Amino acid sequence: MLQTALQGLRMLVVMTVITGVAYPLLVTGIGQALFADEANGSLIVEGGKARGSALIGQPYSDSKHFWSRASATSPMPYNGASSSGSNQGPTNPALKEAVEGRVKALREAGGDPSKAVPVDLVTASGSGLDPHISPAAAEYQIARVAKARGIGEAGLRELVAKHTEGRQFGFLGEPRVNVLRLNLALDSIVQK
């Protein structure tokens, strides 16, 4: 009986060292060696200061910046500790009201009433953290941002095109624009 207990205790110690120490250190080491940027949160650093993560959206609501996708996380938008969707279906009156409010805000901020508002500007992603918008959503905002900054629309279109990421591996997903990267590039150009 004592020998069985000691064997069990030895096995517990060995498995704790393997699964609780050695394996995490190995995986962390591989991550840091091969994927350091991703392993450290894909942070965007400018001037020695972290401006945000390329993987988590940022809230923008002023006219001088491109606006992000809506976020359904709580208690604040883009809360990485509370990734979630709204769980509101297409027949839910609260979703309809929220979308109508977002459309109204976009139009009041300078959106063209003759153009349809891209769906990704008025709905949240499944995680509520999506940092990307579609190129169409960026295009919808160009006139407003150009007017607010007093710059030409053609230059903004070039900037959006430069920051448009293609499909992953050339065939997965859709082209997308990282809003944080785009706005940081816009700020750096305008400040020069």
Residue 49 host element (H or E): strand 49-53
Rounded to the nearest angstrom, the gap between the alpha carbon of residue 103 and the centroid of all alpha carbons in its chain is 20
Alpha carbon distance 91, 41 (integer Å) = 36
Domain spans of the chain, in order of start? 2-36, 42-191
Asked if residue 85 lies in contact with residue 126, where contact means CB atoms within 8 angstroms, the answer is yes
Q: What is the pLDDT along the chain (192 residues), one digit of tens a residue?
A: 888 889 999 999 999 999 999 999 999 999 999 998 888 888 888 888 888 888 888 888 889 999 999 888 888 888 888 887 777 888 989 889 989 999 999 988 887 778 899 999 998 887 888 899 999 999 999 999 999 999 999 999 999 999 999 998 989 999 999 999 999 999 988 654
Asked if residue 136 lies in contact with residue 66, where contact means CB atoms within 8 angstroms, the answer is no
